[in-house]
Structure 1
Amino acid sequence: MKPLAWIGSTRGALLTFPEDVVREIGYALYLAQIGDKHPAAKPLKGFGGSGVLEIVERFDGDTYRAVYTVRFAEVVYVLHAFQKKARHGISTSQQDMGLIRNRLKQAETEHQAWLRRSP
């Protein structure tokens, strides 16, 4: 099973979500760790392919999202977890997309360091 690596404040943000949402996103991340994919996990547009995925969960009229990457063979990096605030449209805000891009770069850097430490 691949380890999970949390980038930035992602883990703390996820743990503020309702328990049912945390459980479902946690299950989706577990599936990613074992090389499978949750039915709710979809490629995030703007990242060229299926290496960056988004899980969308709805609960009590609110929408929660978690973004992770499986671009690296050895580790699943969780890049962002947030509650969608906009009441119109389904697209992810430019601010969130920028944060995801920055955290993906951070994950790439951390992964290179992880590879250098591994035997």
Structure 2
Amino acid sequence: MKPVHWLGDSRRAVSRFPVLARSLVGHQLYRVQCGLDPADWKPMPTIGQGVRELRVHAGGEWRLIYLATRPEAVYVLHAFGKKTRRTAREDVALAVERLKLVEAGRRR
């Protein structure tokens, strides 16, 4: 099972989700750690290769953007609640910046 590396404030953001959403995110993230797909996800190629969005529907729309293609860990790039159909530019930009940090760390 891969460890989870939380980037920026993503862990704190998940802790602010409602209890049911947190529980569902935790269960789905565990599946990812075990090498399985979460129940509801979509690829996020605009952020980077291999980046996915885990989607949770529990009293609102909750998202976790992660990268699980690296052999050493699952990287949680960003977590947030959604109010519209499209992912906000700010959320995409933040995930892109955090992905760059992951990639820079691998080059060292």
Q: With structure 1 as the length reference, what TM-score do the two structures score?
A: 0.82
The alignment status of 1:14 with 2:14, answered yes or no, reads: yes
Q: Which runs of 5+ in 1 are unaligned?
A: 114-119
Q: Percent identity?
A: 36
2:78 is matched by which residue type in structure 1?
Answer: H
Q: Which runs of 5+ in 2 are unaligned?
A: none
CA RMSD of aligned residues (A): 1.6
Residue of structure 2 in register with 1:92 after alignment: 87
Residue of structure 2 in register with 1:28 after alignment: 28
Aligned residues: 108
Q: With structure 2 as the length reference, what TM-score do the two structures score?
A: 0.89
Cα distance in 2 between the residues matched to 1:112 and 1:12: 27
Q: Deviations over 1:92-116 (max 9, x none)?
A: 1111110010011112233445xxx
CA contact (8 A) 2:48 2:96 kept: no
Larger Rg: 1
Cα distance in 2 between the residues matched to 1:23 and 1:39: 14
Residue of structure 1 in register with 2:42 after alignment: 42
Question: By how many angstroms is 1:45 displaced?
Answer: 4.2
CA contact (8 A) 2:68 2:75 kept: yes
CA spacing shift, 1:111–1:4, aligned 2, 3 Å: farther
Runs (4 or more) in structure 1 with deviation over 3 Å come to 110-113
CA contact (8 A) 1:56 1:66 kept: yes
Cα distance in 1 between the residues matched to 2:103 and 2:27: 24
Cα distance in 1 between the residues matched to 2:41 and 2:105: 24
